[in-house]
Structures are given as structure tokens and as C-alpha cells.
């Protein structure tokens, strides 16, 4: 048995080289407790997990020769986490003027993706995909940077969207173009008219693309009509609360049963409204986030100087946000009781919602709303993988699956906040331990603090370009 030690040196750059160094390495997680998150989810204590070429090759049995051994004593292994609702920064974004005025904003994709790595988020679902996201994804797949798997949805809206459709035939055409462009999913957006929305959902089914999204406001007063076959995933609890006649338990059940009858799944996205309510009260809720220093300087500036939730806020809107927060808890309880599958998503990238970190907030809120810790973990692992159609490859700790894995210092089934206590992660066949993560984060915070306030990172200046 050869024990290979990992150096703790920074790997923010030259990760491609780091990738090669570890290529075809076999890892053995020794003496670890496995929470497989399979349907039965029987915890396997003090076992060995062998990883060969980025796949789980054995659970239990002997440690093979010539492997890198990772001590798992007293630790807990879970599947990599999945955030089912994100908006990742990519070149050119964000800015309404892109691309017409040639805005030249470029991002270091490793800086963007590090926040997921640090938080054990091994898969993300991008809900406003752009062509640049394919390039971002390819950088990860090639191993040039470390980051999550990315599923891409093309957003189709009735106005003010990158893909606009105002008639059923435009809607069908938009779906077919998105399919041809390589997107896996379609996102329907708020301002679609009823007939166009229905045509998009129908065409997406014909093109074998699942549909996630908002309930367009055109359905107000007739919410049930939005629940057409193959409207597969509601992107926020807010989609229901915007349609609610009153914020009561009965209304929560009425709305939840629409999802149940239609076979639609739901991403509650509780953290979104909690964060919105907090920043509507005070920007300190953003400024004081421990993870704020890791946010790209341009977004730090935007979230403070052009915060859409804080500007023009008043006691009435704050009360409304608070009501939504409470109603969403009722909704989650109703969805759970009716057996509607829920997946975990955060709307990361929206102001005050930090990529990666927000998923742990979401898990915490789902438990507070009445899900068990196991149901909550399932929402961010197996169930999310199932909805995305990748459950044959990820979402559980099983032999043959990809080694998208998170090693935790403590048991998340006892306290969901233990998902934050990360000892190390496996991304794309690479083992990244806590020490490496901390160094990378420190470097990122330093880089951000040096850039903050420079013209290239001021939201007002970028908007003028
Ligand atoms: Zn969103």
C-alpha cells in the first residue's frame, strides 16, 4: 500500500496541470460512514469507498494497492449537492446592454465556480442559459477549472427576455431553436401569454425537453390552467404565492394540489424570499454576509448600489415579503403532505443570494419548514438528479456512479447544518480538501478586495458602456 499525500498548495491556477497529476489516480476513503441517499438510505458505517477514474468502484472490501488514501474516520460521505436554480456569471453578463453596445465584461470562471466547490455543490441547473454558458461548462469538463456539472435551460419569455415569443408559432420555433442550440431544458417565463405558454410546453415535450419555470401572470385567477401536461417543475414557491387569493393553509393546499394532480415537481426556493425580505429592511443583510467577500466585485457593487429589493422599499413591501416567507412554509408543508416531489434550488446570483453558500441556507429552511433531514438531503441529491435525468450517474453514493462526493465532519442526518462542515470534496475525479479550499477562498477574497471600487467593477460604469 502506497500512501500518497496531497500538498496543500493553492490550485486556483494551473488546475489543468493539477488535473493531470491526479489523472487515473485511485482513491480510497478509509473508515468512512456512507450516507448513500438511495431510496432505502441505509447508512454504511466504517467502510471503505474506492474511487477509480472518477467513478465509485467499490464500497467495502480491501484497499487496493497504489492508491491515495483519505482518512474518513468519524466522517460522513454524502452525494455531491445539486442546486436546481442558479444564474451563473458568464462573460458579457450581467448588463441589459449586452451584446448590442459591446459590453466587455469577462469573468475568471474559476473564481465563479470556486464558490460551488467550497460548498460541495457538484451539479447546478442554470435557468437562464446563454451561449457563453456552454463555454463555461466546457472549461469544467476539460478540467481547465474545477467546477460543477451544469445543466442548461433556455429561457423563453413574452418580452424583455433573450428569447421572446408572443404567438404559439413563435413559441414552438423558439423551443426548436433552443434544442438546436444544444440546451437540455426550457424555462418558461412570467410574461408569456396563455396560448404561447401552452404551445411552448407542448413543443418542448415533442422535442424531449423538460420544462421548468414561472407561472405566467396571465394565469392569475385561473392558476389551474397553467398546469398543463409536461409543465414539469415550478421554479419558486413564489409562483404559487403570486397566484394566491389569500395566504392561508387552505389556499396553500389548493395550490399544492394543482402541482400534485399535474405531476409537477416544485423547487420551493425558500431562501430567496428570506434573503429578499432581509435586504429590503437593510443592506447590512447583504454587506454582513460572511460569504460576501467571495462575491465578484462587480456584483458586490451592484448588490449594494443598485439593490432592487432595498431601493424604494417601504413598510408595506416589507410586510408583503414577510407574508410570502410565512406562506411558503405553509406551501412546503402542503406539498409534503400531498407527496409532491421537491428539489432544492436557490436562485443564486440574485442579489444577496451567494452561489454555493445559499444551498446550505436553503436546506436549513426546508428542515425548518417541516422536511426531515433525509427528505431535505434527497431534495438536493437523488431527487434533483432524477428530475434532471442523470440519476443513473449521480445523486447517490453507489458503485458505478460518478464520484461526485462530499466528505463531512459531522452527520447531516442529525443536523442539516452539518452539510456546511466540509472536510473535502470530489469534483471531476479530483479530491480537494478543506485546506486547499480555504487557501483558494483566501486568495479569492484578497483578489476581490483589490479590485473592488475600480472602474471595471463598478456597476454604474458598466451600465454606461
Ligand atoms: Zn431565477
Q: Provide the 3-class DSSP secondary structure of residue 132.
A: helix
- Rounded to the nearest angstrom, the distance between the alpha carbon of 85 and the centre of ligand 1 is 6
**Using the 8-state DSSP alphabet, how is residue 165 labeled?**
-
- Measure the CA–CA gap between 294 and 288, rounded to whole angstroms: 12
- Rounded to the nearest angstrom, the distance between the alpha carbon of 146 and the centre of ligand 1 is 23
- Measure the CA–CA gap between 276 and 281, rounded to whole angstroms: 9
Handedness of CA 347, 247, 189, 103 (dihedral sign): negative
Which cell numbers in the block locate residue 333? 408543508
Pairing of strands 26-34, 44-52: antiparallel
pLDDT the model gives residue 21: 43
- Measure the CA–CA gap between 404 and 251, rounded to whole angstroms: 39
- Rounded to the nearest angstrom, the distance between the alpha carbon of 49 and the centre of ligand 1 is 36
301: closest CA among 451, 453, 104, 446?
453
- Rounded to the nearest angstrom, the distance between the alpha carbon of 352 and the centre of ligand 1 is 13
- Which residue is associated with the grid cell 469573468? 107
- Rounded to the nearest angstrom, the distance between the alpha carbon of 328 and the centre of ligand 1 is 16
pLDDT the model gives residue 3: 35
- Measure the CA–CA gap between 200 and 204, rounded to whole angstroms: 6
Q: Provide the 3-class DSSP secondary structure of residue 227.
A: coil
| CB-CB contact of 342 with 332 (8 Å) | yes
Domain boundaries, the chain: 15-79+396-448
| CB-CB contact of 129 with 155 (8 Å) | yes
- Rounded to the nearest angstrom, the distance between the alpha carbon of 242 and the centre of ligand 1 is 15
- Rounded to the nearest angstrom, the distance between the alpha carbon of 208 and the centre of ligand 1 is 22
For helices 194-206 and 168-181, what crossing angle results, to 10°? 40
Q: Where does 15-79+396-448 sit in CATH, by number?
A: 2.30.40.10
End-to-end CA distance of the chain: 59
Pairing of strands 26-34, 231-234: unpaired
41, with CB counted inside 10 A (0-12, 13-18, 19+), is middle
- Rounded to the nearest angstrom, the distance between the alpha carbon of 127 and the centre of ligand 1 is 6
Q: Provide the 3-class DSSP secondary structure of residue 153.
A: strand
- Rounded to the nearest angstrom, the distance between the alpha carbon of 124 and the centre of ligand 1 is 12
If you count DSSP H runs as helices and E runs as strands, how many of each does the chain have, helices first? 16, 16
Cis peptide before 333 (omega within 30 of 0): no
- Rounded to the nearest angstrom, the distance between the alpha carbon of 86 and the centre of ligand 1 is 6
Using 70 as the pLDDT threshold, list the residues of the chain that sit under it. Answer: 1-24, 93-104, 464-465
pLDDT the model gives residue 459: 84
Going from the C-alpha of 423 to that of each of 35, 324, 340, 434, the distances in angstroms are 15, 36, 33, 5
- Rounded to the nearest angstrom, the distance between the alpha carbon of 46 and the centre of ligand 1 is 40
pLDDT the model gives residue 105: 80
Handedness of CA 75, 79, 85, 86 (dihedral sign): positive
- Rounded to the nearest angstrom, the distance between the alpha carbon of 414 and the centre of ligand 1 is 30
Pairing of strands 121-126, 68-71: unpaired
**Using the 8-state DSSP alphabet, how is residue 265 labeled?**
E
Three-point CA angle 139, 143, 145, nearest 5°: 60
The DSSP-derived string for 192-257 is --HHHHHHHHHHHHHTT-EEEE---GGGTT-GGGG--TTEEEES-THHHHTT-SSSSHHHHHHHHH
Going from the C-alpha of 53 to that of each of 61, 123, 426, the distances in angstroms are 18, 18, 12
Cis peptide before 271 (omega within 30 of 0): no
- Rounded to the nearest angstrom, the distance between the alpha carbon of 72 and the centre of ligand 1 is 36
Helix (H) or strand (E) holding 17: helix 15-22
Amino acid at each position: 500500500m502506497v500512501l500518497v499525500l496531497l500538498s496543500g498548495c493553492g490550485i486556483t491556477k494551473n488546475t489543468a496541470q493539477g488535473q493531470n497529476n491526479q489523472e487515473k489516480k485511485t482513491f480510497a476513503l478509509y473508515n468512512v460512514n456512507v450516507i448513500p441517499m438511495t431510496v432505502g438510505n441505509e447508512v454504511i458505517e466504517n467502510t471503505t469507498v474506492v474511487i477509480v477514474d472518477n467513478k465509485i468502484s467499490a464500497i467495502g472490501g480491501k484497499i487496493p494497492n497504489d492508491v491515495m488514501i483519505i482518512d474518513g474516520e468519524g466522517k460522513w460521505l454524502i452525494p455531491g449537492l445539486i442546486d436546481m436554480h442558479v444564474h451563473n456569471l458568464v462573460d458579457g453578463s450581467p448588463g441589459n446592454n449586452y451584446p448590442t453596445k459591446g459590453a466587455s465584461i469577462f469573468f475568471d470562471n474559476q473564481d465563479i465556480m470556486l464558490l460551488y466547490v467550497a460548498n460541495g455543490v457538484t451539479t447546478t441547473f442554470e435557468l437562464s442559459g446563454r451561449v457563453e454558458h456552454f463555454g463555461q461548462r466546457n472549461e469544467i469538463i476539460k478540467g481547465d477549472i474545477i467546477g460543477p456539472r451544469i445543466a442548461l435551460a433556455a429561457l423563453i419569455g413574452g418580452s424583455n427576455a433573450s428569447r421572446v415569443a408572443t404567438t404559439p408559432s413563435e413559441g414552438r420555433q423558439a423551443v426548436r431553436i433552443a434544442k438546436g442550440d444544444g440546451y437540455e431544458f426550457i424555462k418558461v417565463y412570467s410574461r408569456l401569454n396563455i396560448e404561447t405558454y401552452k404551445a411552448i410546453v407542448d413543443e418542448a415535450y415533442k422535442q424531449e425537453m423538460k420544462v421548468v419555470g414561472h407561472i405566467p401572470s396571465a394565469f392569475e385567477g385561473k392558476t389551474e390552467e397553467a398546469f398543463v401536461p409536461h409543465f414539469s417543475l415550478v421554479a419558486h414557491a413564489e409562483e404559487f404565492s403570486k397566484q394566491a387569493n389569500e395566504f392561508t393553509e387552505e389556499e396553500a393546499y389548493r395550490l399544492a394540489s394543482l402541482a400534485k394532480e399535474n405531476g409537477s415537481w416544485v423547487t420551493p426556493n425558500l431562501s430567496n424570499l428570506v434573503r429578499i425580505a432581509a435586504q429590503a429592511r437593510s443592506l447590512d443583510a447583504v454587506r454582513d454576509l460572511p460569504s460576501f467577500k467571495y462575491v465578484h466585485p462587480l456584483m458586490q457593487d451592484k448588490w449594494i448600489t443598485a439593490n432592487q429589493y432595498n431601493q424604494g422599499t417601504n413598510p408595506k413591501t416589507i410586510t408583503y415579503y414577510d407574508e410570502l416567507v410565512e406562506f411558503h412554509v405553509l406551501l412546503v408543508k402542503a406539498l409534503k403532505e400531498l407527496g409532491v416531489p421537491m428539489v432544492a434550488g436557490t436562485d443564486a446570483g440574485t442579489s444577496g443570494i451567494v452561489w454555493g453558500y445559499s444551498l446550505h441556507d436553503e436546506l436549513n429552511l426546508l428542515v425548518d419548514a417541516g422536511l426531515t433531514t433525509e427528505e431535505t438531503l434527497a431534495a438536493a441529491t437523488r431527487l434533483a438528479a432524477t428530475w434532471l435525468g442523470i440519476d443513473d450517474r449521480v445523486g447517490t453514493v453507489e458503485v458505478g456512479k460518478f464520484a461526485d462526493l462530499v466528505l463531512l465532519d459531522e452527520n447531516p442526518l442529525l443536523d442539516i447544518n452539518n452539510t456546511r462542515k466540509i472536510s473535502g470534496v470530489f469534483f471531476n475525479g479530483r479530491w480537494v480538501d478543506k485546506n486547499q479550499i480555504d487557501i483558494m477562498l483566501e486568495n479569492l477574497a484578497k483578489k476581490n478586495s483589490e479590485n473592488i471600487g475600480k472602474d471595471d467593477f463598478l456597476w454604474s460604469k458598466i451600465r454606461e458602456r
